[in-house]
Amino acid sequence: MNIIVTGGAGFIGSNFVRMILDEHKGTYVVNLDSLTYAGNLGNLEGYIDNKNHKFVKGDICDGRLVEKLIDEHKIDAIVNFAAESHVDRSLVDPGVFIDTNVTGTLTLLKAALEKNIGRFLQVSTDEVYGSLGEEGMFTEQTPISPNSPYSASKAAADHLVCAFGHSWGLKYNITRCSNNYGQYQFPEKMIPLMINNALNGKDLPMYGDGLYVRDWLYVYDHCTAIWKVLTETEPGTIYNVGGNNEKTNLAVVNFILDRLGKDTSLIKHVKDRPGHDRRYAIDSTKIMTELKWAPSVNFEEGMSKTIDWYLQNKKWLETIVSGDYQKYYDSMYANR
Ligand code: NAD
Ligand code: DAU
C-alpha cells in the first residue's frame, strides 16, 4: 500500500510514520508536512532516508502538489494528521486554524475525490464533542459541540469529510482520540511543558484550580488504533479512541514531579484558559469490540517511558526551547 501521511513531522504523525516503517514494511509513506513551528525533521531521525519513506515539504492547502503526489506515487490512501493543534494558540490567532484545519482538509478531500483514492482517514479529536460534567462519556453518537476555535475547526473538517462521503461516495473514516502523550511531543502541550519546566526548576503553570480532567492515551496506542481503522474497516465509519485514563491535571503533574524527584512547590496556579473544557472522557467500546484494539500500556507505564525519553533526549528538547519557543512562552505565561 502507498499512502500519503500529512503532518508526519509533528508529534503523532512522526510516531505513526516510524511505527509503519518499523512494523508494516510493505507500506510506502509519502510524508507531506509544511514544517510549521510544530514540525521537526528531528522527530524522524534515523527514518528520513528509509527506502519506504519520502519526505515532501509542502502545504496541504496546495491542491496541485497533493494531486501530483497522488499520481506520482500511485497513492491508495491519505491519513490526515496535518493541523494547527494547540488550543491556547487558537485563542490568540484562530485564522491559521481555519486555513489548515478546514481549508487544508477540504483541499485534500477534493484531491482524494478527483483521484478516486481508496481511503481517506481524518485524524480528529474528542474535543469536537465539547465538554462533560462529572458524569458520562463521549460515544460516537454524542452530538458535535465544539467550544474552542481549535475544536470548531476540527469539527468543521469532520463535517466536510462526512459530506464528501455522503454526497460523492468518498471512502472515508474518522478517528476521534483523547489527549495523547509520549515521545516527541512539542513542549507547548501540558505534559512536555511541565517536564521541561520541572527539569529547569521553573514554575509549573497550572490553569485555574487544576481539577480539569483529560483521558490520557500513550501515543503509540493511538497510532495502532489508526492503523487498524485504516486497514481493517469498511469506509464510512467513525471510531472513538481513548485510554480509559481519566486524570486531573494536578494528578498528572504530581506524577511527573514525583518521578523527577522535584517538589510540588513548583506548581503555580495561574489565570485560567478562556472557555476551558472541564472534562473529557472517551468511550472506546466500539473500536475495542469491533477491531479488537486495546492500549499496550497503562498510564503509569506510558508516563514512565515518556519521562525517561525526555530525560534521555535532553538535546531534542533544548534545540526546541532555544528557538522561537521562548518568545511564545513569554507571550503566553509572562503576565498570567
Ligand atoms: P502537531 O502540532 O505536533 O503536528 C502537526 C503537524 O502538522 C506539524 O508537523 C506541522 O508542521 C504540520 N502542519 C501544520 N500545518 C500544515 C499544513 N498547512 N500543511 C502541511 N503540514 C502542516 O500535532 P499533533 O499533536 O501531532 O496532532 C496531529 C493530529 O492529531 C491533529 O490533527 C490533531 O488535531 C489530532 N489530535 C491530536 C491529539 C493530541 O493529544 N495531540 C489528540 C487527538 C487528535
Ligand atoms: O483531547 C484531545 C486534544 O488534546 C487534542 O485535540 C489537542 O490537539 C491537544 O492539544 C489536547 O488539547 P488540550 O487542550 O486538552 O491539551 P493541553 O496539553 O494544551 O492541556 C491539557 C490540560 O492542561 C488542559 O486542561 C489545560 C491544562 N494546561 C495546559 C497547559 C499548556 C495547564 O494547566 N497549563 C498549561 O501550561
Q: Provide the terminal-to-terminal Cα distance of the chain, rounded to the nearest Å.
A: 49
Distance CA 233, CA 246 (A): 28
Is 126 in the active site? yes
| Nearest bound ligand to the CA of residue 176 | 1
Residue 332 included in any domain: no
Tell me if the pTM is above 0.85: yes
- The domain in which residue 221 lies consists of 2-181+216-241
The pLDDT assigned to 39 comes to 98
For residue 90, the domain's CATH number is: 3.40.50.720
What pLDDT, in 10s, does the model give residues 5-23? 999 999 999 999 999 999 9
Q: H-type helices in the chain, by residue range?
A: 11-23, 63-72, 87-90, 95-97, 105-114, 149-168, 190-199, 219-232, 249-260, 285-290, 299-312, 314-321, 325-333
Residue 73 included in any domain: yes
CA angle (208, 213, 215) in 5-degree steps: 145
Residue 266 included in any domain: no
Is 129 in the active site? no
Is 150 in the active site? yes
Q: Which of 127, 158, 215, 246 is catalytic?
A: 127
Q: How far is the CA of 214 from the centre of ligand 2 (A)?
A: 8
State which ligand 2 atom lies nearest to the alpha carbon of 189: 18
CB-based contacts of 21, cutoff 8 Å, min separation 6: 29, 47, 50, 52, 53
Residue 250 included in any domain: no
- Confirm or reject: Cβ of 196 under 6 Å from ligand 2: no
Residue 11 included in any domain: yes
Residue 320 included in any domain: no
Residue 116 included in any domain: yes
Residue 298 included in any domain: no
Q: What domain count does the chain have?
A: 1
What pLDDT, in 10s, does the model give residues 259-303? 999 999 999 999 999 999 999 999 999 999 999 999 999 999 999
- Tell me the pLDDT of the chain (336 aa) as tens digits: 999 999 999 999 999 999 999 999 999 999 999 999 999 999 999 999 999 999 999 999 999 999 999 999 999 999 999 999 999 999 999 999 999 999 999 999 999 999 999 999 999 999 999 999 999 999 999 999 999 999 999 999 999 999 999 999 999 999 999 999 999 999 999 999 999 999 999 999 999 999 999 999 999 999 999 999 999 999 999 999 999 999 999 999 999 999 999 999 999 999 999 999 999 999 999 999 999 999 999 999 999 999 999 999 999 999 999 989 999 999 999 988
Cell numbers 512522526: residue: 14
